[in-house]
Structure 1
Amino acid sequence: MLADKLYNAYKTKSKPNVLVIGDLMLDHYIFGSANRLSPEAPVPVININKETKIVGGAANVASNLKELGANVYLAGLTGDDIYGEEIKSILDSNQIDTSLIIKDNTRLTTIKTRVIAGNHHIVRIDKEDIHEISKELESIFLQTVEECIKKADIIILSDYNKGLLSQNLCLRIIELCKQNNKKVVVDPKGLDYSKYQGAYIIKPNRKELAEASKTERITNNEALVKAADVIFKITQAEYLVVTLSEAGIAIISNQAHKVIPVVATEVYDVTGAGDTVIATLAYCLAMGFDIEEAATIANYAAAIVIKHIGSATTTIEEVIQSLDK
């Protein structure tokens, strides 16, 4: 059984070294109640009873990996501001290596503020700069991550389209990984997947795949494979792992495709579920599981975190328990 194999690997194998490179952000949650409308405008008045701040983006991928039991190295950019310091503080408290995080004084650290009344998401307010990393900082960043690439078992590119993972930087990182025989797993963003050329796995969701392949809609397996073929020609990736929401996860190569059905569960919030999938996928591949096993385990991990409001993480013990059911 897969649960037994995962348990044995977790107990007997060394922790994998995983390097996460990507956009960092701070997720700010304001929880309260709404019992009346404002006299100033037809909007609810929120009485705040709790506020929390957690790390998001690539930092959430790193947090997922830490909870799974990996040795995690996180590389990214923050602004030279209080939000960047808060991200580093949260990561340090979770014992995630932050030595590869660089301050960029030309940008604000991304912060997303979500206001939630009861179980209703009322509004999201974003504060950020998303201009592309400068050529000078790009070279500094590449030099910063080079040694860690050599000792990592697998590398994740967590792209949130916030300016770090430019076309040039992505291609340079992937080339450096190939020179060191390291696999790159990409969580993509945007319409131009040519910047991921040479990656081992690219993990879009169905909507992202449709947009990047210029497919109107993906409603069946034929459309899914046809859209994937477009991306394979652009990227020469070995696999696409496509999250299909209620339909599960598809594993597609040039030779075949397979859909792993969704794990039935209650859904409270899908925020960060993609981070859990990419983290679990990379962790399992680094531990020696094949792609189908890794995607299946990632499917179960995602089913656990979407039961919680906000970006959540899970542990190997929880995943094993879920697999055992």
Structure 2
Amino acid sequence: MGVKEAVNGLRKSKKRPSILVAGDLMMDHYIWGSAKRLSPEAPVPVLNAASETVTPGGAGNVVQNLFALGATITIGGLTGDDAAGRELVRQLNNEKVNTSNVLIDPSRPTTMKSRMMAGNHQLLRVDKELLTNINSKLEQQLLAGLEKELAAADIVLLSDYNKGVLSPSFTQQLIRLCAKKKKRVLVDPKGLHYQKYSGAYLIKPNKRELAEAAVVEGIPNDKELIKTARKLLSKVKCDYLVVTKSEEGLDLVSKTAYYNFPVKANEVFDVTGAGDTVFASLGYFLAAGLDIQLACELANYAAAVAVSKVGSVAVTFDEILQAAAQYKPNASGK
């Protein structure tokens, strides 16, 4: 099945994939303006702010990408008891996302990343967050709520930003629940301790994260990437690694096979959120019944679209088809 045939078939299908997402929710806050002079107080640009936007980030950006593709979505995570958390839930509800498992933790603020943008250039990012693991009471409450949603889910996505929701205890308990229900789990990882993802179907690190998790100096070529990925596969006991390489495409690695998807964007404006786009696209296409190679090819085209835009963006079927028509290359592998 080709890319065009697969995408058009999904668009015509009456069945919308049902996807359960759990992980670190946050708000992406942008201040847009221009910078034409330096401050007399310090050698820094002065941003003349013209507008501001806020949009769901982290696991919320994964949700937005799934929504753009037409999935039915349930989200589980934490917010603070604050205005940012309420706005985050409001925006998700507007996209008809099931937010009944978004719990309030009054001990932490809603994670927010504020970016100061001069045109397409980021001058500064300010983070507001508290990096403590979810407490045991909220952990059990969230697990109980998500367990009730598993029966209807076609696939489960864990979006880890190392902000505390996907603690080792919570992650392993949720993966075991998914195994009992025979639900595949995809993980967008963070940090060095991948053992907490043991039992997942697929893990999606970028190349730098793969090197750090496997404790190697670097990954200079494809041969070393395959070797490093298989070392990690054996350690973590999952079926696949999908290694993203920013504007250079992605690689799919199992214990016995390797495929390279070499799509490159003609222009790279911003890699913010591109990993979320790949992750959401993979989840959607696998949940819709495509095989993993075709799912990776489509997700790679989605990433090429994402890096050509500024900020975290959701990618549509039309844009994926346009990218496929423009870039042409197919996967190579063995």
TM-score range, shorter chain: over 0.9
- Following TM superposition, by how much is the alpha carbon of 1:302 offset from its aligned partner in structure 2, in angstroms? 1.0
Give the structure 1 partner of residue 277 of structure 2: 276
Instruction: Report if aligned partners of 2:305, 2:315 keep a CA contact under 8 Å in 1.
Output: yes
Deviating more after overlay: 179-188 vs 87-96: 87-96
Give the structure 2 partner of residue 302 of structure 1: 303
- Following TM superposition, by how much is the alpha carbon of 1:293 offset from its aligned partner in structure 2, in angstroms? 0.3
- Following TM superposition, by how much is the alpha carbon of 1:13 offset from its aligned partner in structure 2, in angstroms? 4.7
Alpha-carbon separation, structure 1, partners of 2:254 and 2:261: 14
Which 5+ residue runs of structure 1 have no aligned equivalent?
Answer: none
Alpha-carbon separation, structure 2, partners of 1:174 and 1:26: 26
Q: Which deviations, in whole Å up to 9, do the C-alpha atoms of 1:189-209 show, x marking residues without a partner?
A: 000000000000000000000
The residue type equivalent to 1:298 in the other structure is A
Deviating more after overlay: 51-60 vs 40-49: 40-49
Give the structure 2 partner of residue 91 of structure 1: 92
- Following TM superposition, by how much is the alpha carbon of 1:240 offset from its aligned partner in structure 2, in angstroms? 0.3
Give 1:33-44 correspondences, 5 Å limit.
33-44=34-45
- Secondary structure at the aligned position of 2:78 is classed as strand
Q: Which deviations, in whole Å up to 9, do the C-alpha atoms of 1:142-200 show, x marking residues without a partner?
A: 00111111210000000000000000111111100010010000000000000000000
Among the aligned pairs, what percent are the same residue? Answer: 48
The residue type equivalent to 1:88 in the other structure is V
Which 5+ residue runs of structure 2 have no aligned equivalent?
Answer: 327-334
Give the structure 2 partner of residue 259 of structure 1: 260
The residue type equivalent to 2:228 in the other structure is A
Alpha-carbon separation, structure 2, partners of 1:228 and 1:321: 31
Alpha-carbon separation, structure 1, partners of 2:68 and 2:122: 27
Alpha-carbon separation, structure 1, partners of 2:256 and 2:201: 15
Q: Which runs of 4+ in 1 moved over 6 A?
A: none
Give the structure 1 partner of residue 122 of structure 2: 121
Give the structure 2 partner of residue 216 of structure 1: 217
Give the structure 1 partner of residue 50 of structure 2: 49
- Following TM superposition, by how much is the alpha carbon of 1:36 offset from its aligned partner in structure 2, in angstroms? 1.4
Instruction: Report if aligned partners of 2:19, 2:154 keep a CA contact under 8 Å in 1.
Output: yes
Instruction: Report if aligned partners of 1:7, 1:320 keep a CA contact under 8 Å in 2.
Output: no
- Secondary structure at the aligned position of 2:116 is classed as strand
- Secondary structure at the aligned position of 1:263 is classed as coil
RMSD between superposed Cα atoms in Å: 1.1
Instruction: Report if aligned partners of 1:210, 1:227 keep a CA contact under 8 Å in 2.
Output: yes
Instruction: Report if aligned partners of 1:69, 1:316 keep a CA contact under 8 Å in 2.
Output: no
Give the structure 2 partner of residue 148 of structure 1: 149
1:204 aligns with 2:205: yes
Aligned residues: 325
Instruction: Report if aligned partners of 1:76, 1:101 keep a CA contact under 8 Å in 2.
Output: yes
Alpha-carbon separation, structure 1, partners of 2:34 and 2:318: 35
- Secondary structure at the aligned position of 2:37 is classed as strand
Q: Which deviations, in whole Å up to 9, do the C-alpha atoms of 1:222-270 show, x marking residues without a partner?
A: 2112211221122110000000224321000000111111233211111
- Secondary structure at the aligned position of 2:148 is classed as helix
- Following TM superposition, by how much is the alpha carbon of 1:100 offset from its aligned partner in structure 2, in angstroms? 1.2
